[in-house]
Amino acid sequence: MNNANSRRNFLKMAGLTAASAGVAASAGFLSSCNRIEAVEGDRIKLLTSSGELVEVDRASLTPAEIPSLTENQKRGRAGLPGRKWVMVIDLARCRNARKCMEACQTHHQLRPEQHHMNVLQMKDAENTSPYYMPKPCMHCDNPPCTKVCPVNATFKREDGIVLIDNERCIGCRFCIAACPYSARVFNWLEPRDSEKYVGVTYNIEANVPQKKGTISKCLFSADRLRDGKLPSCVSACPNSVYWFGDQNEDAVTNGTTGETVSFSNLIRDNAGYTLLEELGTKPRVYYLPPKGRAFPYQGEIHPS
């Protein structure tokens, strides 16, 4: 299967069709942007779902309305119908490039010390070789974090993603204590580049703008999934570490090669497993063992 066809398969899986590609590209781009109240003449600044500021003609906004905060929250809680998103991480391929971490931090307005995706150095026993393990939120089907939130700020939606609404979050940090994977971070300080986000309508699917005193975590880039794109971390990895897709379709796409394969076959044939399965959290992130590594262990963590 060639890369071009594989990438089209992912877009098709996400509900896009070739016949509507032109309209969807225009409307999708506009609907994925949140308005910034900074206008110069007929030009207006927008923030895209990838975290970039762009300028467009005011007239080009007419094909799609900018969603309000209430609309964003309602749509974000509903999720994408008929989907069950799943991630597979191949530990044999990770060489600690950390491009996934950089892309995630840019997309979700995170400071340098904050991580939704964190690459850890692991060693299972004294005489075994170390390896690198990317660790996002597990998006558990039985998430303990959502059960302890007193204000329903964190929730599990039908497509499998666990999100946070920081317009509701009171910063109690009960969810941080409940998470066995240490997947959540607290915004102790003002978020990164906060001045750029002044006037931006809060997007619950990107958890942007971030807010001091609230919780943040991996979201599987839910806003990008709505646009038919792979999550930021998956797309940014140069070493074919990540597979992502829809379990209902039994299809996952590799973010580097664009190859689409059967999810069930991938984890069955490669001894896939989940972390802390004995806790009954039922994670939606699977790992393939670090066997037959594509890259030798290099002795220490570094980004090259």
**3-43: pLDDT as tens digits:** 555 555 565 555 543 333 333 334 444 444 554 444 455 77
Q: Tell me the C-alpha distance between 296 and 304, whole Å.
A: 13
Q: Is residue 296 part of a domain?
A: no
Are 29 and 166 in the same domain?
no
Residue 196: per-residue pLDDT: 85
Mean pLDDT of the chain: 84
pTM comes to 0.79
- Beta-bridged to residue 155, according to DSSP, are 163
Q: Cβ(204)–Cβ(68) under 8 Å?
A: no
Query: Which of 77, 92, 108 corresponds to the end of one domain?
Result: 77
Proportion of the chain above pLDDT 70, given as a percent: 76
Are 55 and 104 in the same domain?
no
Q: Is residue 295 part of a domain?
A: no
pLDDT at 250 over 90: yes
Q: Is residue 237 part of a domain?
A: yes
Query: 118-130, pLDDT tens digit by residue?
Result: 999 998 888 888 8
Are 249 and 159 in the same domain?
yes
Non-local (6+) Cβ contacts of 287 within 8 A are 88, 89, 90, 91, 133, 272, 273, 274, 275
Query: 57-83, pLDDT tens digit by residue?
Result: 766 665 455 667 888 788 889 999 999
Residue 3: per-residue pLDDT: 52
CATH number of the domain that 103 lies in? 3.30.70.20
Are 94 and 231 in the same domain?
yes
Residue 299: per-residue pLDDT: 55
Q: Cβ(108)–Cβ(251) under 8 Å?
A: no
The whole-number average pLDDT for the span 214-240 is 96
Q: Is residue 102 part of a domain?
A: yes
Q: Is residue 90 part of a domain?
A: yes
Range of the domain at 214: 78-288
Comparing 200 with 44, the larger pLDDT belongs to: 200
Are 103 and 242 in the same domain?
yes
Are 70 and 203 in the same domain?
no
Are 103 and 190 in the same domain?
yes
Are 61 and 87 in the same domain?
no
Q: Which of 2-11, 74-83, 203-212, 290-299 has the lowest mean pLDDT?
A: 2-11
Total domains, the chain: 2
The whole-number average pLDDT for the span 239-245 is 97
Are 138 and 271 in the same domain?
yes
Q: Is residue 72 part of a domain?
A: yes
Residue 6: per-residue pLDDT: 55
Are 130 and 270 in the same domain?
yes
Element (H, E) at 170: none
Q: Tell me the C-alpha distance between 227 and 15, whole Å.
A: 9
Q: Cβ(104)–Cβ(50) under 8 Å?
A: no
Are 283 and 143 in the same domain?
yes
Q: Tell me the C-alpha distance between 240 and 129, whole Å.
A: 21
The whole-number average pLDDT for the span 173-178 is 98
Element (H, E) at 35: strand 34-40
Residue 200: per-residue pLDDT: 83
Are 18 and 61 in the same domain?
yes
Query: 97-151, pLDDT tens digit by residue?
Result: 999 999 999 999 999 999 999 999 998 888 888 899 999 999 999 999 999 999 9
The whole-number average pLDDT for the span 169-197 is 95
Query: Which of 20, 49, 77 corresponds to the end of one domain?
Result: 77
* CA neighbor of 206 nearest in space, from 70, 107, 140, 114: 107
Q: Is residue 19 part of a domain?
A: yes
Query: Which of 58, 77, 96 corresponds to the end of one domain?
Result: 77
Question: What is the torsional sign of CA 76, 78, 80, 86?
Answer: positive
Q: Is residue 294 part of a domain?
A: no
